Structure formats: C-alpha cells, structure tokens
Structure 1
Amino acid sequence: MTINRINTITAFVADQDKAKEFYASVLGFAVRADRVVGGNRWLEVVPGGEGTSIVLHKPFPGASAGGLAGVILGSDDVDAAVARLRDAGAEVDGPDELPWGRQATFADPDGNSFVLQAPPAQDWQR
C-alpha cells in the first residue's frame, strides 16, 4: 500500500451556509460539491478549483466546530489576500517576514485557523 496524496481535509463548522459564504466569497474558493447524502450535507470547497479540498461539515458526535489548525494555504500575493480578509472583517495576524517566507495567520468564523504563506524561498526547501 502506498499513500501518495491528501484528498480532503475536514473542517467542522457550526453553520454550513455561513461557512460556504466565507470560503467562497471571502477566500475565493470554488464550491466543488454541495449536496445532501443521507442525513448529512457534503459541502466541499477547494482553492483554485483543484487539488486538496476542505469539507465544511457539521461536527461529528463528540467533536466541536473550530478545531482545525495548522493548514497552510499558499498565495502569490499575501498582502492582497490579507487586505481582502481584513476588508471582509476577518482578524489577521501579519503578514510577517520569516526565514521561510512571508506569512499571515487567520481563522474562519468558527475558529478553524490557517496560515497564509507566500511561496517559500527556494533555498529554504533544500
């Protein structure tokens, strides 16, 4: 068995409609799927329309909204992305220059937290 990719990350959210608005309108993610499967709504968004997606799902029993942390999102223009987030009312820390590149942090309305990062310096990855 070989594991060779991450298909989907799940972010638990309290209100899927509110989350959809934030991820689609504020972050500019494409909605890959929005359908009811059994008793659950499968709401899947993806930056740039391809790659690893985020499922915005109601919390499973015993879980709560807002527990996702450490996901790093890439941007070719961190400053413009930060300005857009702030204009939409999001709290953003940064952007800051760090040894591995320019980055900022923010959270969605439920408290799921993300790092927004410019492409890392080429020598950092060696």
Structure 2
Amino acid sequence: MKIYVTSIFVDDQDKAEKFYTETLGFKVKHNIALGANRWLTVVSEEDPEGTELLLESSDHPSVGPYKAALFADNIAAHSFQVQDLDAEWKKLTERGVKFVTEPLDAGSVRMGVFDDTCGNLIQLIEMKKAT
C-alpha cells in the first residue's frame, strides 16, 4: 500500500495553481472540472508519477476554522522534502515567498516554514546526512 494522493485545502484554486506551479515548480497532473471547483493535482517535476497533491477547495464550513487555527498556531499543513534547504530557501525567497521560519537545525533534519499564500504554512525538510 502507498499514498498516491494527499490534499491541501486552498482558498482559491486558480491562485493555488499559479503559486504551486510557477513559484514552487510543481506541474499540473490533473485538472478536471467538478461543478464550481476542480480535481486539481500537482506533482513534482522530479517524480511525475509520484504522490499527487490535491489543491482542494476550502468550501466546506469546517475548513476555515481548521486552517485558521493551524496558521495562528504556526503549524504547517504539509511537509515537503528538499535536497538542499539553503538553496531552496534562497530560490524561493528570490521568488517572493515569505518564510515564517528561516532554515534551522531541528534534530535529524533542517527545516524552514513558508506561507503558501493560500491559507497554509508549508514546512520544507532537508534530511541531515549521518555522521
């Protein structure tokens, strides 16, 4: 068994599509109209057959308070792994991404957290090399 799709609630699917593709560098895998919303998934260009991230509309009434509570408590909605956190941080800050936690050591990982502009905080993780 493996995870093939996971979702993140976004305030606006069009805005999220632009941010996740143009700013973060993911590519659209599925874009299927479903009434007022879409089945909109993105994947890593490095692993196009890998896990899909569903940019899911925040329409359900329980989503707003949930997202607001996570954001207010500085809790990341998702965690993405990178090979070089400092290089990714530099690239993303140059693209205007706002980090709420700059890269720091956290046990066996290095991490940083940014605002995805769609109502979520996203954690970037770099696994430390064993010494």
TM-score (ref. length: structure 1): 0.80
Aligned residues: 120
Aligned to 1:91: 98
Aligned to 1:10: 7
User: Is 2:81–2:124's contact at 8 Å kept on the other side of the alignment?
Assistant: yes
Aligned to 1:113: 121
- SS at structure 2 position matched to 1:90: coil
Mean Cα deviation higher: 88-97 or 57-66: 57-66
**TM-fit CA distance, 1:32:** 0.5
User: Is 1:23–1:29's contact at 8 Å kept on the other side of the alignment?
Assistant: yes
Matched, 1:74 2:71: no
TM-score (ref. length: structure 2): 0.78
Unaligned runs of 5+ in 2: 71-75
- SS at structure 2 position matched to 1:12: strand
Q: In structure 1, how many angstroms separate the alpha carbons of the residues matched to 2:65 and 2:118?
A: 6
Matched, 1:43 2:40: yes
User: Is 2:80–2:123's contact at 8 Å kept on the other side of the alignment?
Assistant: yes
Aligned to 1:30: 27
- SS at structure 2 position matched to 1:79: helix
After TM superposition, which residue ranges in structure 1, 4 or more long, deviate above 6 angstroms? none
**Amino acid in structure 1 at the alignment position of 2:120:** N
User: Is 1:12–1:66's contact at 8 Å kept on the other side of the alignment?
Assistant: no
Q: In structure 1, how many angstroms separate the alpha carbons of the residues matched to 2:128 and 2:118?
A: 28
**TM-fit CA distance, 1:35:** 1.8
**TM-fit CA distance, 1:115:** 1.3
Q: In structure 1, how many angstroms separate the alpha carbons of the residues matched to 2:94 and 2:87?
A: 10
- SS at structure 1 position matched to 2:25: coil
Give the superposed CA RMSD. 2.3
Mean Cα deviation higher: 91-100 or 35-44: 35-44
- SS at structure 1 position matched to 2:104: strand
User: Is 1:26–1:84's contact at 8 Å kept on the other side of the alignment?
Assistant: no
